[in-house]
Chains A and B, each alone.
Chain A
């Protein structure tokens, strides 16, 4: 007897633990997704400006390589591994080797005396990746000409780097002449790079002079002072409109992904809803019970085809059809696009939606159908003005749940959407239509594809987890709302 009681106690404990586990799983998912998102906040931001001393006469060249022997030397930008490798293969210049004009840059706040900066040393140190944290960061540009340069003036030119979006940087950027060489008369200046991202300023030529402990030249200063806190900056980055995690300038804007996912879900539900609603009403209100016995499982069968199989179905059969028709008409090349993914998503949603709507229609008590019949209403009138309105909240709930399903669907979008993040454009009708055949990339497929190529616990990894968290919260909110709606429609009679 005692033994039995112990067994019972263990049993009860196991049952309760399993019940509690459900909340535990939700909390754990939230905890870990949020936790891994912290790596997104290791993000360092780019400054992305090129400064150069160059001949006063002649055209300014916008595209200048990183060759240190060239007349333009780009200011460093932090965090780029590619540049580091490149640097190792380049010979370090010496003063003697320089011809024309040279400028040198540093990316960290200089310590020690400004006057005693060794340009060569400066160069060597400062192509390293810099962490740009929350403090104000100063970049010093040290500039002079070599004796071969004979003109009385030279120019300081600055330009935003290609791909660098000044609106999205969390810094206020200014360029200032900090110190002129001894004996040179020059007007002090300070430029706000945000309002003037490209420019040129003439200054008197100064020929480099070095002696034992001192190098002479202009010292320009590029100040990057935070406009917002680092956390705000990272979140601001997420709110921006470009997702290029592997480009020269990493950008982690969620907007194109969110718009693609929401757009695809909307498109699919608009396509699926009328068909699903019609089918559900047909099965629930018009067909014999014998037909219903067959139809329901058949519909559930389509709902359970693995989505990766649906994806390939779309890739081999639907994508070429789209590419030959709509895509061609709108000037796109590939059938892998928004519309193809949207169509196959709708195919997935139709059975899901039909099944859910049918359930809520069947929940409407028979007595209402009788009441409508007895009033002399036709079948269609009973359905349209009594049954469907009576099941309204359940039907809406079904749609909300289907939207959640579409938002979380990964494989169909992965295989069919073309995998290129893009922002929709609504400038004119033609462009708005062209959005349909654009390749897009949604949230879940981005996570699935890119997670395979990231450094674990890196910035990109962190952002992918943030996307996952976003997905979790969105689907959670939708499913809870849908559940509430569907419960409201349950007739207690």
Chain B
């Protein structure tokens, strides 16, 4: 049989090599082309939005109330509302999400039941935000009689970000070296104490990243707010009392989605400006989180 190969070696081996090299180059060229398209898209889209929107951004736009049916003035009440929604969501999701993550990382183990929990987590993470909106409407707004309100918005967005918070918390905790945990146990600390005093402080930056990232994403997501918390614009001052929790709140995504949908009425500069503010809010949060993660990844690689 070796003769078969000898024959093949004699016959046009070099031509075949050249042909293979050509087709490889073509293939690699296609891959490079795809990558170029993707990066052009990223730079093009984010760049266009920035170029179109940044000129409208000034202090007045950020701090004024909308005037003349949203065709003039600023968007402060919407920014305020989005920040309010985000921080409230963070407060609500923090305890449950972190405890849930600790459960998954340290207490769950492997069983059929835990498999069920994992499957639930996976499904929840992929559940569309509009479904959370419907759930929030049925439960918080109607059944709990909270009405369309800031409270209902917090609870809905907290649920929406819960799976991601749990997943990131779990992986942040798993990234804590086992030796630290063993050290804690060796000191005679109980499991709970070890987790609270040793594991959590070490995982804190990873956990915080996850929470900020997911609530940031939640704050940019329109559908849940649409059904549970939103009015699409407001010109009022924020009242600092408990009643505010029961009132609907104006916010950026709903403002964009509903307020500007009628084409031609709202000046484009305001639309682009609002896009930049919303995108900036979410992207800055993301960028921060990505950098923190990259740094901690680099640190863990070094050690």
Contact = CB atoms under 8 A, between A and B. Distances in A.
A184 interface: no
Contact of B221 (A35, A306, A316, A347): A306
Contacts of B116: 23
Interface of A is mostly: helix
A278 to B, nearest CB: 2
B54 interface: no
A442 to B, nearest CB: 10
Binding site of B, secondary structure by majority: helix, strand, loop or mixed?
helix
A435 B216 CA distance: 37
B115 to A, nearest CB: 11
A317 B272 CA distance: 11
Nearest to A465: B134
B300 interface: no
Interface in B207-228: 216-217, 220-223, 226-227
Contacts of A471: 128, 130-131
A359 B303 CA distance: 23
Contacts of A478: 126
A7 B192 contact: yes
B296 interface: no
Contacts of A278: 30-31, 33-35
A12 interface: yes
B284 to A, nearest CB: 11
A313 interface: yes
Nearest to A5: B190
B91 interface: no
Given A408-B127, A448-B226, A32 B119 contact: no
A304 B217 CA distance: 7
A90 interface: no
B34 A274 contact: yes
Contacts of B290: 297, 300-301
A471 B123 CA distance: 12
A410 interface: yes
Interface string A285-324: 1110000010101111110111111111101110000000
Nearest to B282: A306
A478 to B, nearest CB: 7
B103 A16 contact: yes
Contacts of A307: 220-222
19 contacts: A14-B99, A15-B107, A16-B103, A25-B162, A275-B38, A301-B286, A301-B290, A304-B220, A304-B282, A306-B253, A306-B278, A307-B220, A307-B221, A308-B256, A311-B257, A313-B45, A351-B38, A447-B134, A478-B126
Interface of A: 4, 7-8, 11-12, 14-23, 25-26, 28-29, 32-33, 35-36, 274-279, 281-283, 285-287, 293, 295, 297-302, 304-313, 315-317, 347, 350-351, 354, 378-381, 383-384, 401, 404-405, 407-411, 414-415, 444, 447-448, 451-452, 456-457, 464-465, 468, 471-472, 475-476, 478-480, 482-483
